[in-house]
Structure 1
Amino acid sequence: MPSTRTPALLRRAGVTVGTAAAGAGLLAALAGPAAAINSYNAAPAPERTEVGALVVQWDADKNPATPDRVDWMCSGTMVDRDTFLTAAHCTSDWPAGARFYVSLGQDVQSDLEAAAAAHPGDPAAVASAVAVEGVAHQDPAYPGPSSDPHDIAVIQLPELAVAARWAFTPATLPTAGQLDGLGPQGLNKTPFQVVGYGTQEAQRGPGGQTHPGGGVRLKAPVAFDALNAPWVRLAMTAPQGNGGACYGDSGGPNFAEIGGRLLLVATTITGDGPCYATNVSYRLDAPAARTFLAPFVALP
């Protein structure tokens, strides 16, 4: 399948705490205008306060004498008061000692830059200034085959610490097999929306193809394309008025308006490399996802 929607694969510049001032300046230069998801047909999503960014603190060079690196890496959603849902590929393959945090801020990129300038040389202070630390749990069957990769994880957070920082209403999960029950005609009529902090679609420049932006929570409409177990594929085609997901939107929500309610029906996992055509999302109404989630959240 195409590459996963996480900026770790692009080696996007992060906040290296030992050089906070330089790091913050570099990030500001790279970020440009505040943008995420795709730049076409996208809009800010300040009302989606249940959608957050996964922030990771890790040792990037295996040298304990140098400061750790801190950056936002993926998107995700609060599915109850202390459970943040994201993708397993966002929480795996990190160096030993990596720490996971969640921010529900609208502009996590600017928050990190400000924290890096305020707390030079203190990676824990930078992460704690913008986010709440939690414990990652990923599906033990990850990585599975393409027929079901089990690419799902949660961050368990201290409820009181989250409540003290942000006000939000947790997302509503679907019932078992709810997308199947809509049938082809119902799915084609269903409005879908993707939300996340990711970068823009591919742009060509003097240095080659890049994916600028990222770090700000945006939303975009998407349209139903195809359904199977465990995927729902959503069209991101601009001429039809759609937007879509890109790098950094991994683990972020794909909502569907069903029966007058906005349901969190899938999480962004992968898609086409340039971020123009299709968002491939992991279904949350499928048996494997529900089995994994059952110990962490009350399922409908």
Structure 2
Amino acid sequence: MASTHPAAAINSYNAVPAPERTEVGALIARWDDDADPATPDRVDWVCSGTMVDADTFLTAGHCTTDWPAGVRFYVSLAQDVQSALDSAAAAHPGDSQAVAAAVGVEGTAHTDPAYPGPSSSPHDIAVIQLPAAAVAARWTFTPATLPTAGELDALGPQGLNTTSFVTAGYGTQEARRGPGGQTHPGGGVRMKAPVTFNALNPSWVRLAMTEPQGNGGACYGDSGGPNFATLDGVRVLVATTITGDTPCYATNVTYRLDSPAARAFLAPFVTLP
């Protein structure tokens, strides 16, 4: 659910803006999209993610790979990152570096070296290491709480069925049909929506985003974004959005952060509970 063509929203149904989720941010990329050094690089928000400590932004591995050489990554914790990019582009025409710096803080990407793994163990996880002082100078947030090892397993299906889940991100809306076919409008504004437990396996937790049940859900551009569960009264970042059904109506397939593989990757970057 990455997006290099952002267009405000997680699914529009049952979703609301999330200005209070200040730890949730957008991943911005600056890259050469035409192999012509005489033209400015392109700058866009491309994925979502979450600050998990003062200098570590957690996102998906597929968000930080398969880019042209020289790509630069930035993180913004703005509520409306698309409007911020539009304003910066108007203020700095033709200067992609100034646009990116006006909206985000530049960092260094670290992708799980085992990505892409098999579907049973995808290793689809990455972090952006940021200068903590530069982040603190621009935004105030409380880092997300990560789960303990095997925390979702300990709850089991019965416990997960009664657990409150919320997904968040900057992604587009569910598919709409028009004269030109299906489109996914919106994107670039931090939103949140309730989801409910569907299924659990060693690497994935599948979350239902069906509208009749009161759910919302994730869509394109929400990759890497958080899926929170309320566990013993604490909001815990238990998984990150990776994929789902093409029209964004049914299921959010999310990568578990309590799994051994995810914890092994995160251990050098953040203190794990």
Q: TM-score, normalised by structure 1?
A: 0.90
2:157 and 2:128 map into 1 onto residues whose CA distance is 34
2:106 and 2:236 map into 1 onto residues whose CA distance is 26
Q: 1:50-85 CA distances to partner (integer Å, 9 max, x unpaired)?
A: 000000000000111111000000000000000000
Aligned-residue identity in percent:
79
- Uncovered stretches (5+) of structure 1, i.e. residues with no partner: 14-30
Which residue number corresponds to residue 178 of structure 1? 151
Q: 1:233-264 CA distances to partner (integer Å, 9 max, x unpaired)?
A: 00000000000000000000000000000000
Quote how far apart the aligned CAs of 1:121 are: 1.2
1:189 and 1:257 map into 2 onto residues whose CA distance is 10
Amino acid of the residue matched to residue 6 of structure 1? A
2:92 and 2:262 map into 1 onto residues whose CA distance is 39
Which residue number corresponds to residue 257 of structure 2? 284
2:250 and 2:156 map into 1 onto residues whose CA distance is 23
Q: SS at 1:184's partner residue?
A: helix
- Does 1:125 find its partner at 2:98? yes
Which residue number corresponds to residue 265 of structure 1? 238
Which residue number corresponds to residue 6 of structure 1? 2
Which residue number corresponds to residue 166 of structure 1? 139
Q: 1:265-287 CA distances to partner (integer Å, 9 max, x unpaired)?
A: 00000000000000000000000
Which residue number corresponds to residue 247 of structure 1? 220
- Does 1:44 find its partner at 2:40? no
Aligned residue runs from structure 1 range 147-226, under 5 A = 147-226=120-199
Q: SS at 1:180's partner residue?
A: helix
Q: SS at 2:88's partner residue?
A: helix
Q: SS at 1:263's partner residue?
A: strand
Deviating beyond 2 angstroms after TM superposition, the runs of 4 or more aligned structure 1 residues are none
Aligned residue runs from structure 1 range 51-70, under 5 A = 51-70=24-43
Q: 1:177-220 CA distances to partner (integer Å, 9 max, x unpaired)?
A: 00000011100000000000000000001111000000000000
Which residue number corresponds to residue 76 of structure 1? 49
- Does 1:134 find its partner at 2:130? no
Which residue number corresponds to residue 26 of structure 1? none
Which residue number corresponds to residue 117 of structure 2? 144
2:98 and 2:157 map into 1 onto residues whose CA distance is 50
Amino acid of the residue matched to residue 103 of structure 1? S
Amino acid of the residue matched to residue 113 of structure 1? D
